[in-house]
């Protein structure tokens, strides 16, 4: 168990809080989705209420180590000023003497938002000198950036090794929720996997064949499995290099008594285009067609498994849901996950946006805020940004 902000004394201390404020901005620099900021407010409010001097750092976009106003965190500073009723200052750099001086002028209950840490290439290289400069800004380090926890960067891994540290509420919630379902599920435990590439999901599948009762596979990745079983899949997405691995995964599932359910019918098209007409096929797909969505019989099969489950994990769309004619499978599954009464964990940007299209995510047990990090945690892998944080016993 990692130390959380509730386990440390932050009173009158300068706390460097690493967050994920990587929010989408429009052409005019306005925030178009504030989810990531709203998720962070409980940690910020807690620190302010406990008289900390809060110094916030984050990345935004991919400035590739160069200062670029397009990726400035200034719009986030303006947002925070409104949310936190003043008390927020912004500084147009994230290291250096001027920034250090400003951290020393902060009063308890005030916030200083630093400029984008990825304006320095040293950030992603986990440069020790850069981490040292960041560490000079604070007495304590708190990591609440779950979205970057799978990375070993200066503003998470590097600085955490130099200061007393803890995780924030968001990081704590992500870890506890995902681990509680993966490691201690109420059975039956069903995983729904989709998306384009099998290669990205192999570590996940290797863990799920040990932990789940049933795995439902849809999306582009299903065709590699179907081809491995000898089906014709036409022009569908297939990762030929992974056919052997697909066979091994299905073999392992059999050994472990885990049911793998693959699509039995498909909505297909001749072209990969938003206006392509959908044609339904069962079992096999003719040469000139590619499978772009699961068909109605598969939806029914998946639905039966989901209704029978007590724990659920969903990662990846079941079809090319960006195209209206091929969005039905994903939308149906999103509706079922919304109605699910047990513990459901949803990870990955596409699955989360599909759910948001059909309703509010409030009633879902856990909707993960981090794509890559949640994939790794679900795969049973350790996250460097979490591992470096002190364990509770070490207090």
Indicate the residue among 147 and 291 with the shorter CB distance to ligand AMP. Answer: 291
Q: Identify which range of 32-40, 97-105, 188-196, 296-304 contacts ligand AMP by CB under 6 A.
A: 188-196
Does 313 participate in binding ligand AMP (rule CB under 6 A)?
Answer: no
Residue from 147, 234, 348, 370 touching ligand AMP (CB under 6 A): that is: 348
Of the listed 342, 371, 372, 380, which one is catalytic? 372
Pairing state of beta strands 259-261 and 311-315?
unpaired
**Residue 270 engages ligand AMP in binding (rule: CB under 6 A):** no
Is 86 strand, coil or helix? coil
Pick 71 or 314: Cβ nearer ligand AMP: 314
- Applying CB under 6 A, among 65, 200, 303, 379 the residue interacting with ligand AMP is 200
For ligand AMP, the closer of residues 64 and 322 by Cβ is 322
- Judge if the upstream peptide bond of residue 209 is cis by omega within 30 degrees of 0: no
292 binds ligand AMP (CB under 6 A): yes
User: Which position among 14, 36, 242, 343 bears the catalytic label?
Assistant: 36
Q: How far is the CB of 195 from ligand AMP (least distance, A)?
A: 2
* Per-residue b or e along 357-379, where b marks 16 or more CB atoms closer than 10 Å to that residue's CB: ebeeeeebbbbbbbbbbbbbbbb
Query: Is 197 labeled as catalytic in the residue annotation?
Result: yes
Q: Which stretch binds ligand AMP (CB under 6 A): 36-44, 167-175, 275-283, 316-324?
A: 316-324
Catalytic residue among 179, 197, 303, 356: 197
Question: Which among 79, 78, 59, 73 has a CA at the least distance from the CA of 18?
Answer: 59
Place of tokens 């005030």: 110
Per-residue x/- marks for ligand AMP, 236-265, CB under 6 A? -x----------------------------
Q: Give the integer Cα–Cα distance in Å for 369 and 186.
A: 23
Q: What are phi and psi for residue 57, nearest 5 degrees?
A: -130, 150
Please list, in sequence order, all residues whose beta carbon lies within 8 angstroms of the beta carbon of residue 218, skipping any fewer than 6 positions away: 192, 193, 194, 263, 294, 298, 302, 316, 317, 318, 319, 329, 333
Q: Is 220 in the site for ligand AMP (CB under 6 A)?
A: yes
Q: Which of 319, 347, 384, 385 is the binder for ligand AMP (CB under 6 A)? A: 319
Catalytic, out of 277, 280, 349, 395: 349
In eight-state DSSP terms, residue 277 is P
Sheet with 259-261: list strands edge to edge: 259-261, 214-217, 189-193, 311-315, 343-347, 366-367
Alpha-carbon gap, residue 300 to 311, rounded angstroms: 19
Q: Is 317 in the site for ligand AMP (CB under 6 A)?
A: yes
Closer CB to ligand AMP, 295 or 384, in the complex: 295
Which position's Cβ is nearest ligand AMP?
195
Would residue 372 show up in a list of annotated catalytic residues for this protein? yes
Q: What is the DSSP string of 373-392?
A: HHHHHHTT---HHHHTSPBG
Does the protein bind ligand AMP through residue 196 (CB under 6 A)? Answer: yes
**Residue at token pair 């290291």:** 95
The residue whose two tokens read 């168990």 is 1
Q: Give catalytic residue positions.
A: 36, 197, 349, 372
Binding residues (CB under 6 A) for ligand AMP: these are: 194-197, 200, 219-220, 237, 291-292, 316-317, 319-320, 322, 348, 350
């Amino acid at each position: 168990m990692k130390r959380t902000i509730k386990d440390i004394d932050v009173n009158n201390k300068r706390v460097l809080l690493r967050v994920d404020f990587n929010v989408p901005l429009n052409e005019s620099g306005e925030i178009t989705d504030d989810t990531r900021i709203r998720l962070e407010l409980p940690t910020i409010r807690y620190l302010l209420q406990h008289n900390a001097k809060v110094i916030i750092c984050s990345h935004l976009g991919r400035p590739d180590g160069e200062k670029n106003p397009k990726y400035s965190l200034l719009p986030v500073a303006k947002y925070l000023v409104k949310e936190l009723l003043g008390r927020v200052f912004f500084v147009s750099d994230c290291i250096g003497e001027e920034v250090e001086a400003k951290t020393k002028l902060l009063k308890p209950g005030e916030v200083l938002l630093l400029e984008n840490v990825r304006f320095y290439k040293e950030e992603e290289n986990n440069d020790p000198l850069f981490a040292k400069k960041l560490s000079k800004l604070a007495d304590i380090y708190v990591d609440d950036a779950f979205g970057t926890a799978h990375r070993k960067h200066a503003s998470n891994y590097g600085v955490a090794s130099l200061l007393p540290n803890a995780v924030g509420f968001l990081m704590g919630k992500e870890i506890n929720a995902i681990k509680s379902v993966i490691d201690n599920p109420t059975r039956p435990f069903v995983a729904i996997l989709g998306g384009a590439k099998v290669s990205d999901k192999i570590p996940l599948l290797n863990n799920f064949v040990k932990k789940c009762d049933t795995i439902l596979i849809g999306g582009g990745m299903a065709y590699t499995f179907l081809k491995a079983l000898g089906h014709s899949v036409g022009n569908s997405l297939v990762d030929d290099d992974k056919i052997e691995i697909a066979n091994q995964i299905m073999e392992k599932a059999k050994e472990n008594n885990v049911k793998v359910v693959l699509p039995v019918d498909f909505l297909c098209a001749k072209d990969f285009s938003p206006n392509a007409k959908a044609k339904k096929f069962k079992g096999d797909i003719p040469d000139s067609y590619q499978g772009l969505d699961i068909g109605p019989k598969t939806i029914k099969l998946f639905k039966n498994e989901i209704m029978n489950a007590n724990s659920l994990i969903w990662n990846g769309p079941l079809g090319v849901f960006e195209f209206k004619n091929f969005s039905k499978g994903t939308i149906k599954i999103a509706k079922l996950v919304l109605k699910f009464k047990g513990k459901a964990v949803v990870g990955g940007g596409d699955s989360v946006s599909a759910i948001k299209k059909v309703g509010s995510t409030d009633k879902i047990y856990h909707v993960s805020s981090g794509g890559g990090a949640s994939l790794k945690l679900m795969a049973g892998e350790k996250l460097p940004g979490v591992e470096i944080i002190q364990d509770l016993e070490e207090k």
